[in-house]
Chains A and B, each alone.
Chain A
Amino acid sequence: MHSFEFIRPKDAAAAVSAAAQAKTAQQGAEVRFLAGGTTLVDLMKLNVETPTQLIDINRLPLDTIEATADGGLKIGATVRNSDLAHHPVVQRDYAVLSQALLSGASTQLRNMATTAGNLLQRTRCVYFRDTAMPCNKREPGTGCSAITGTNRMLAILGTSEHCIATNPSDMGVAMAALEATIHVQGPNGTRAIPIAEFHLLPGSTPDRETVLEPGDLITHVTLPPAAATGGATSRQVYLKLRDRASYEFALASAAVIMTIADGSVKQLRIALGGVGTKPWRSPEAEAALLHQPANPANFRKAADAALADAKPQSENAFKVELAKRCLTHALQMAATA
């Protein structure tokens, strides 16, 4: 691990101004905010992350969960994944989020990992984690080792010829379905970023994963009121398929929020995990199923629409069918819940 200066700022403004000195907030950043550490410390040990300054935000007052004025929920940046998953309002109104969080990692890691940290979780692509190998995300311009190498776990949606790294988050997939908003305090004030606009596709700059700029500190995330997704009439399901039953990243996952009335789909949100380069909302699948009769044939049609643009690599063609079955089954679970 490279050496660094350890800084404990007195407030969020001090954290922001310290971080604003960096040239980038993306891969290669000289300044990093330290929250749970489950991604950052891991990657610092591998010399994939080499910050010269580490700003500990764990003591800042960013760890509360509160109702918002409009009936939604405000989740602090350093709220631990386990606290969020077990929060009574999350369990009641945003069950898909609770299920997604509890399907991720282990209890130990969920006790450490934070809301903001999870949004910034880095890919598990083995080439990204290995400094001996070319990787456009870690070292722009060196090439993608995964496209011609080991790519079984990697993405089939949103990829480019420069990068096929999967976004590994479960929480982010549920938040994409819930249309969460990410609130950032930066050198020029605060701003709110819809989650759909927060993560970037790799394109020709896979080292840029989010819209964050130097000094940008995620302070909290808000969820819209439960009524926006059907309230108590909706059914929420997060289904995750993986190589072992627990403590493993998704090969494919699906977040579904669905309201059925008189046998047809009245409201629908669909997002996929384990297959995309970012938490993958699927408007195509939603359009295919909304206002249609809720039956297995239509669920499958929605799944076909979700994966229509899938681009499998040499080792992960199985993911196309797996993701379709995952979504079909999740819709079926939601319909019969």
Chain B
Amino acid sequence: MSSASRLHVPHPPARPGERADFSYLKLSPAGAAARPDARASIEEVASLSTSLVRVLGEEHRATGPWDPHLEPADLQVGLRHMMTTRVMDDRMQRAQRQGKISFYIKSTGEEAISIAQAMALRPTDMLFPSYRTQGLHIARGRDVVDLMCQCLSNTRDMCKGRQMPIFYHWASGNIFSVSGNLTTQMPQAVGWAMAAAIKREDHVAAAWTGEGSTAEADFHHALTFAAVYRAPVLLNVVNNQWAISTFQGFAGGEQQTFAARGPGYGMPGIRVDGNDFLAVYAVTQWAAERARTGAGPTLIEHVTYRAGAHSTSDDPSRYRPKDEWEAFPLGDPIQRLKQHLIALNAWSEEQHSALEKEIEEYVSASWKEAVSYGTMTEAPSLDPDTLFEDVFKEMPDSLVRQREQLRALRG
């Protein structure tokens, strides 16, 4: 017996030792995608879910209807934030290699997404991050010492030593806590946005997830609830092509774009060049305006590339070609914004080198300060008594007793 039926197992275009191949990525030229009104019907924006919104084009010039026309000064701020994020990532990666912290996750190559989006939103908008969106904190003005102290689980750790590195939160900065259970934050962001609408406030929520974890049921819940209630929320899928060793085809990216999930649920889906600061900014601005004016949610797919390992525990040379990052057709977001500023005569190599040096000094000084508040192995240390706090608002008798037991053991 034979049959035409055959199980399809997706394969990435290239494995280690093979030539990197991004021919599967459908690209549009810069400026080609139309920019409908922010309150346009889903039908009018349907094509945006399969095309690619790009602004930075030939000669590093901004082109087309999505150009957000930002002032060079704003672009310089964006460049600074992206560079700060990258330098901090490199410093923390080294700290992990030196055994100072247990774990780290870099966002190298994806900085434009966090930075441009945080800049395009209002400080009162609530952000529900994923584990690779540390740039949100940087763009909202957080002292990198705070982030470092979290990674160190030291006496200034916002999480009181309860979370492994990078699981940051910032209540006063309106950035929610990162969860290790992926995509849980997406339907939570929808709930937050529903509450904003119930209260008739014009704040919006934004959430991020990787393309890999769009396969989780929570992603479906988020899109269903967002569409049903037309919640003022931006749901972002950061398609960096890889979920640890699992390429995007395994999350369902072979036959259809992730942005195309949006129209299927009844909301716009916009596929954007995630390494194009201007395009990401413009799309975010569009979706935020749509949400704020009562027209509902938007799903945004950011096409980017995870330039580094998944985390410090991962070795991508075991599953993908070493030169993929260099071959990625959308380039490096920092280089692209730098070249754009130079093309505008608003930046120079000298200024860039000077800024790089300044940021490296800032990050280095921040690290020195952060370790002065303790590390996992060096004093000062957190009081182990605190491990019983915050399970509940008020400590129940059972935990008071367990705290006594631990105190007795500690002598």
A binds B: no
Interface positions of A (Cβ within 8 A of B): none
Interface positions of B (Cβ within 8 A of A): none
